[in-house]
Amino acid sequence: MKRLLSIATLVLAQMAAGTTLLSLTSCTPVTTAQKNVEPQSRQTVKISGAGAIYPALTVVAEAYEKKVTNTEITFFPPNQSAGGIAGVKNSLVDIGALSRQLTTEENNGQLTYREIAKDALVVATHQSVKGVKNLQTKDLQRIYSGEIVNWRDLGGPDAKIIVLDRPEDESAKKLLRKYYLGKSVTITSSAVLLSQEPELIRAMQDTPYSIGYFSLAYAIANNLVVNRLSLDNIAATVENVKAEKYLMVRTLGIVYKTTPSQTVQGFLDFVASEEGATELLQSGFVPSTANK
C-alpha cells in the first residue's frame, strides 16, 4: 500500500503556506519502493515540484533505496517549480524539483539550489512516419503553424500530420519556442494539447502519423518505439548534449534547506556522488559537472 502522510500535518501546513500548495496537499504521494517495514523504523525524504525532473530523481531515488534500506523517497504528484520551492520554504517537503534556476527573489536566504543533470528534448514521430529523419527549423515551424499538414510534403507517407503539443507555460514548450518555433509562430488550432509529458508520450505511441517532443532520457531508458528526428541535421543524443551541439536541452535542478536533516543530506550526497552520476548517465541523462 502507498504510505499516506498525516492529513492533519498537511492541512496545518497548507494553512501556513497558502493556497498555492493546494495541489501538493490534496493528493496521495507516490513512493518509489513498496517495502514491508514498520513506518516507525523508516526515514522519509519528501519531494515535490516540476514533473520534468521526476524521471531523473526517480532513477537516483530507486538506487539509493536499495543501498540505504531504512530510507524511503516519497514523490508527491508533480506540479510546477514554484510549488516545489514553496513546499521547501514551508517545510512541507524536503526537496523541490525545478526545471529552471532558483531566482534571487525566490530565495529567502535559507535555500540552496543544485543542478543535477541535463536532459535533451527530442522531437519524434509515431513509427508509421517513414522517410522523415530530419527536420529543418522552418519545417518544424510550418508543421506547428499548420502550414504543412501532410507528411508527403516532407518526404514521408501520404497522411495527415497529427500535431501533439504542450501548454505555453511548460518548460518543454518554452524550449521548443526558444530554439526552433520562435515567439511569433501561432500554433495550429488542430494541435492536440496535452498537459503532462507522459500523456504526450502515450498519445504519440498510440496515434499513427503524430509528432511531438519529450524527454530523450525517457525515450532511452524505456526503449520507446518511436522515430527520433534530427533537427537541422543534428541528432538528439547524449553525446551531442555533452558536446553542446544539440541545443534543446533542459536543466534539471533541486532546491532544499541550506541546513537539511541528516536523512535528507544522505540522499543529497548520493545524488552528487559518482555513483549517482553513473545511474543518471545509464538512464540517458547527462550528469552536471559538479556531479561527475
Q: pLDDT, tens digit, for every residue of 49-68?
A: 998 899 999 999 999 999 99
Indicate the pLDDT class of residue 290, thresholds 50, 70 and 90. very low
11-20, 128-137, 171-180: least confidently modelled range: 11-20
Predicted confidence (pLDDT) per residue in 111-146, tens digit: 999 999 999 999 999 999 999 999 999 999 999 999
Count of beta carbons in the 10 Å neighbourhood of residue 176: 21
pLDDT over 70 at 100, yes or no: yes
> Mean pLDDT, to the nearest integer, of 194-219?
95
Taking alpha carbons only, the member of 95, 46, 40 closest to residue 70 is 40
Percent of the chain with pLDDT over 70: 85
pLDDT over 70 at 98, yes or no: yes
Predicted confidence (pLDDT) per residue in 224-279, tens digit: 999 999 999 999 999 999 999 999 999 999 999 999 999 999 999 999 999 999 99
Indicate the pLDDT class of residue 30, thresholds 50, 70 and 90. low
Nine-digit cell at 136? 529543418
Q: Considering the entire predicted model, what is its pTM?
A: 0.76
- Residue 93 and residue 48 in contact, taking contact as beta carbons nearer than 8 Å: yes
Give me the pLDDT at residue 42, please: 81
Percent of the chain with pLDDT over 90: 76
Count of beta carbons in the 10 Å neighbourhood of residue 115: 16
pLDDT over 70 at 11, yes or no: no
> Mean pLDDT, to the nearest integer, of 96-110?
90
